[in-house]
Amino acid sequence: MKKSSIVMAVAVVALTVAGSQCFAAPKATKHLLVVTHTAAFRHDSIPTAEEVLADLGAKSGIYDVDYARDEAEVKQKMSVAALKAYDGVVFANTTGNLGIPDLHGFLDWLKTGKGFVGMHSASDTYHPSEVQGDRSYVEMLGGEFRTHRKQCSIEAIVNDLKHPAVKQLGKSWTIFDEIYLFKENNRPDVHVLLSTTTDPCADTPAAGDFLVSWVKDYGKGRVFYTSLGHRIDVWENPVYQQHILHGIKWALKLEKGSAKPDNPAPPIPR
């Protein structure tokens, strides 16, 4: 073989090796089960929520989605055995007792290192009154829905400027939505991301510490919850989409951020 041919052959091999490194198969996609089944009130934003969650996963390349849209699919896809196919679960505006075959088995699965993401009425799901007083789901989530006021605009104050789920918001974020009030202020048990310092949307505002979004550790797993997401236009809002995308990434342990409970509340106006 001529010297020039040998040099060319070596160059081809080198380019082939380099190309195989440059175009190596991406890491395996995370698999999320998006649950939109409702056993009580059903939000008209759920179809939009499903589309947004799928689109965010596809465009980011981080995760793909499967759905559990009714009780039959919940029973099929949320058995302890079936959950092994997923890296995390999203409760997008769920309500009531969803009929999970083994609720404690599901919670134990989360504790092994899986991600849980809840939007809006995920906190209006599995009330203790719906499961013979069992508070396990509420304790996992970190809060229980009590009521809401009229829809209004609030200034959601960022409580952790470094957390990936909210750091893009700056110091605060003005958003119009249906704002939840919870049965207890669980700041001592969760790491608060967003809160307000006045009773959201009350006719006579009262000062206080009102939680809007938080994260927490759950065994080896992670929980991200935002009470926002009632309205279709909120789900379509790019700012909200970044809020939940980075919350999902954090819950899947793809981004770093504190989950230390009882972070300081913003100063309450006097």
pLDDT tens digits along 94-124:
999 999 999 999 999 999 999 999 999 999 9
**Integer angstrom CA distances of residue 123 from 30, 77, 158, 190, 203:** 24, 21, 20, 14, 24
182-200 average pLDDT score: 96
Tens of pLDDT, residue by residue over 49-82, are 999 999 999 999 999 999 999 999 999 999 999 9
Domains of the chain: 27-251 (3.40.50.880)
Please check the confidence at residue 143 and state whether its pLDDT lies above 60. Answer: yes
Q: For position 185, what pLDDT does the model report?
A: 97
Cβ neighbours, 10 Å, residue 97: 16
What mean pLDDT comes out for the span 41-47?
98
Please say if the pLDDT value at position 12 is more than 50.
no
* Whether pLDDT at 260 is above 70: yes
- Check pLDDT > 60 for residue 18: no
Query: Any idea what the Cα angle at residue 191 is, between residues 189 and 194, rounded to 5°?
Result: 125
Q: Against a cut of 0.75, is the pTM above it?
A: yes
Least confident segment among 23-27, 62-66, 134-138, 216-220:
23-27
C-alpha span between 173 and 194 (Å, rounded)? 9
Task: Confirm if 197 and 208 have CB atoms less than 8 A apart.
Answer: yes
Q: For the segment 168-181, what is each residue's pLDDT rounded down to a tens digit?
A: 999 999 999 999 99
Residue 13's pLDDT band, with cuts at 50, 70 and 90, is very low
Q: How far apart are CA 197 and CA 11, in angstroms?
A: 66
User: CB within 8 A of 123, min separation 6: which ones?
Assistant: 141, 143, 144, 145, 180, 182, 225, 227
State mean pLDDT over 133-162. Answer: 97
Residue 268 pLDDT grade (very low, low, confident, very high; cuts 50, 70, 90): confident
* Residue scoring higher pLDDT (7 or 61): 61
Residue 15's pLDDT is 38
For residue 32 the two structure tokens come to 């999320």
% of the chain residues with pLDDT over 70: 89
Contact (CB, 8 A) for 244 and 56: yes
Residue 7 in this model has a pLDDT that exceeds 50: no
What is the per-residue pLDDT for 8? 40
Check whether 16 has a pLDDT greater than 50.
Answer: no
CA 233 to chain centre: 18
Torsion-angle region of residue 103: left (phi > 0), alpha (psi -120 to 50) or beta? alpha
Enter the tokens of residue 212: 């809007």
Who contacts 55 (Cβ-Cβ below 8 Å, separation ≥6)? none
Q: How many residues does the chain have?
A: 270
Residue 33 has pLDDT above 50, yes or no: yes
Structure-token match 């079936």, residue found: 82
Q: How high is the pLDDT of residue 270?
A: 62
pLDDT at 22 over 90: no
Average pLDDT value over all residues in the chain: 91
Per-residue pLDDT for 144 more than 90?
yes
Whether the per-residue pLDDT at 209 is higher than 50: the answer is yes
